[in-house]
Chain A
């Protein structure tokens, strides 16, 4: 246990070392240790798809332990989609199985001469020939590996055809619909000629105080299952957000041109549950079972079963691309999962192309003959197929939106909504000030799982948020007052959860009745014997976020990159809060207050004092030497 394995794919060598106690204490695991390793393994010149990039896999400190929802793990690398920090967390059973097989972190270096998959089992790592997997979809790839290894309990994280062809927003998948989705980690894996990682192990993870952990787990289980957040997600999963955004006017429609569409009532979570859902599944040790399993008859009459969908796909192809029928949504969702395309990027790219088509920026000569009309089934599927096959307009967007915009010209880049190069998601949060700030400052680019202050949508009384965050946050979502505290709190808690391997759906990120930092502290102490105060644990999250910020600063990023998409400065046109927009002056003042709270200067650069307080002086000095005086 507590092992980090470095796999040199070029030399086919595996080196195993202990994770130093100091590194554990400062970064815990998962995204935390990954961020530290990534910062030191690459630099601002590293080509994301070159052999110099590394692909890191990290399990959370608590992943695989008998604690509620201890399932999460992270892949990290320099992103081929954005060119800077790449990192994606996922659930399922893979992270736990890697720990049972004897490893906490894997570091993949260089590039294998021929396609391989890694077989991680019982303290060993083997490189196995993967050439026979070339024609297979993701679910077939996983089944083939399990069959080959003679054990259906093997857990597999794999890339599909999109990752093997290095589509820059390809993801890594596990089971039918568990994804490490964002920032193109599947493309990095494909560039290394690693097509899958299979894991199986029988080890028992050591627990410092089993009786205490059992008691803590029981308490947390009861706390979770009595909360309204749990009740909602265990019924609807993330689809609860589909109806919320549609009714409250932050739906994000037609590539964020509208905040409320007039799509039919078919686009409703209850319609999906009633007509298409056949079961629910859960990640390792999770009581929620938020994952849907669906069955759908496609247009060609074939019947298929798939995992999901999540809100990102339903709202993305629904509101954003205008497809208000579940068959189209589910077919597109399943195709992405089969091929290994990141659904959030897929919906954003498709909606972007549809707006370009609507505005006459592109025509059928550019799209390989596709008529990209809103909501059109053939248009959506055509874009996805062209991307995986790297032909037509798909060949352009497979290289990322920046490449595609340059190739298209005619101001195409103005219609792509992003932060730091990563597409924003389907919901339109311009009326939620802490969420806009979090979107702008998010360390991997636009991301709801890093910095979305979800509680802002519930109009909670200030007394509740003061008890939670230490500062009263106005219940009015449109207020800018004190929202910097909400965003910093969210960013630190999310970083902490990712380092622990805890699911955010079981945390106060989603609902005040769920687990907070105090509960995380109790679980860490019972499981590992490591003692932290609540403040010290929050500081770990702070440290991770600052380390990620240093990564961005080294890439040349600063205040100019902490900006919401241009469309957010335009007013909402529909719904209960029509007229709401991001106002430039108060937003910039909010950003100033956020920087001050973080201990960053006015340009968003961490100050030496702030870095010293977090023990990041060495990294600050490295960035200063790379970027010049005044940069840390």
Chain B
């Protein structure tokens, strides 16, 4: 894993669900620290999550780039993206 540069004082935070915005369908959904992955309930995309602090998570990338790109191509050509 990548090195953690978070300052010590910023690591203090409440642990609980945090809102993320799906990068595929832009819907908001929740994930809880320390889950490394999360799935958007709206479109079903699976995401890799990076937790900067327990209450500050961020979607970093799709779980699988190849699958994600194939679905994007399918949607663009009229498919369901599944």
Set of chain A residues within 8 Å of B70, measured between Cβ atoms: 262
- B61 contacts A by Cβ under 8 Å: yes
Annotate A223-248 by CB proximity to B: 1 below 8 A, 0 otherwise: 00110100110110000000110111
Set of chain A residues within 8 Å of B62, measured between Cβ atoms: 247
- A360 contacts B by Cβ under 8 Å: no
- CB pair B58–A232 under 8 Å, yes or no, is yes
Set of chain A residues within 8 Å of B76, measured between Cβ atoms: 573-575, 578
Set of chain B residues within 8 Å of A501, measured between Cβ atoms: none
Which listed residue, B1, B52, B66, B75, touches A265 by the CB 8 Å rule? B66
- State A274–B3 Cα separation when bound (angstroms): 8
Q: Report the nearest B residue to A226, measured CB to CB.
A: B10
The minimal Cβ–Cβ distance linking A457 to chain B, given in whole angstroms, is 10
- CB pair A576–B72 under 8 Å, yes or no, is yes
Set of chain A residues within 8 Å of B7, measured between Cβ atoms: 225, 287
- A269 contacts B by Cβ under 8 Å: yes
Pairs across A and B, CB under 8 Å, 29 listed: A225-B7, A225-B9, A226-B10, A228-B58, A231-B6, A231-B52, A231-B56, A235-B2, A243-B61, A244-B23, A247-B24, A247-B61, A260-B69, A262-B66, A262-B70, A262-B73, A265-B66, A268-B61, A268-B65, A270-B50, A270-B61, A273-B2, A273-B3, A280-B5, A458-B21, A459-B21, A574-B72, A575-B76, A576-B25
Interface of B is mostly: mixed
Q: Report the nearest A residue to B75, measured CB to CB.
A: A578
Q: Report the nearest B residue to A280, measured CB to CB.
A: B5
Q: Report the nearest B residue to A572, measured CB to CB.
A: B76
In this complex, how many residues of chain A approach chain B with their Cβ under 8 Å: the count is: 34
Set of chain A residues within 8 Å of B9, measured between Cβ atoms: 225
Set of chain B residues within 8 Å of A273, measured between Cβ atoms: 2-3
- CB pair B10–A232 under 8 Å, yes or no, is no
- A249 contacts B by Cβ under 8 Å: yes
Set of chain B residues within 8 Å of A225, measured between Cβ atoms: 7, 9-10
- State A260–B75 Cα separation when bound (angstroms): 12
Set of chain B residues within 8 Å of A458, measured between Cβ atoms: 21
- CB pair B26–A459 under 8 Å, yes or no, is yes
- A264 contacts B by Cβ under 8 Å: yes
- B35 contacts A by Cβ under 8 Å: no
- B29 contacts A by Cβ under 8 Å: no
- CB pair A232–B52 under 8 Å, yes or no, is yes
Set of chain A residues within 8 Å of B50, measured between Cβ atoms: 235, 270
- State A243–B2 Cα separation when bound (angstroms): 15
- State A287–B5 Cα separation when bound (angstroms): 11
In this complex, how many residues of chain B approach chain A with their Cβ under 8 Å: the count is: 34
**Additional A-B contact list (19), CB under 8 Å, known A228-B58, A234-B6, A574-B73:** A234-B5, A235-B6, A243-B60, A247-B59, A247-B68, A248-B24, A249-B72, A261-B69, A262-B69, A264-B65, A268-B65, A270-B48, A274-B1, A274-B2, A573-B76, A574-B72, A576-B23, A576-B26, A578-B75
Q: Report the nearest A residue to B58, measured CB to CB.
A: A232
The minimal Cβ–Cβ distance linking A571 to chain B, given in whole angstroms, is 10
Set of chain B residues within 8 Å of A425, measured between Cβ atoms: none
- A373 contacts B by Cβ under 8 Å: no
Given contacts A244-B23, A264-B65, A576-B24, A235 and B5 within 8 Å (CB-CB) = yes
- Max count, chain A CB within 10 A of own CB: residue among B6, B24, B65, B75: B65
Set of chain A residues within 8 Å of B1, measured between Cβ atoms: 274
Annotate A270-305 by CB proximity to B: 1 below 8 A, 0 otherwise: 100110010010000001010000000000000000
- State A234–B58 Cα separation when bound (angstroms): 13
The residues in A between 552 and 590 inclusive whose CB is less than 8 angstroms from any CB of B are 573-576, 578
Set of chain B residues within 8 Å of A260, measured between Cβ atoms: 69, 72
- Max count, chain B CB within 10 A of own CB: residue among A243, A248, A264: A243
- Max count, chain B CB within 10 A of own CB: residue among A231, A244, A261: A231
- State A573–B78 Cα separation when bound (angstroms): 11
The minimal Cβ–Cβ distance linking A112 to chain B, given in whole angstroms, is 43
- CB pair B53–A575 under 8 Å, yes or no, is no
The minimal Cβ–Cβ distance linking A311 to chain B, given in whole angstroms, is 14
The minimal Cβ–Cβ distance linking B19 to chain A, given in whole angstroms, is 11
The residues in B between 20 and 68 inclusive whose CB is less than 8 angstroms from any CB of A are 21, 23-26, 48, 50, 52-53, 56, 58-62, 64-66, 68
- State A262–B70 Cα separation when bound (angstroms): 8
- State A66–B56 Cα separation when bound (angstroms): 29
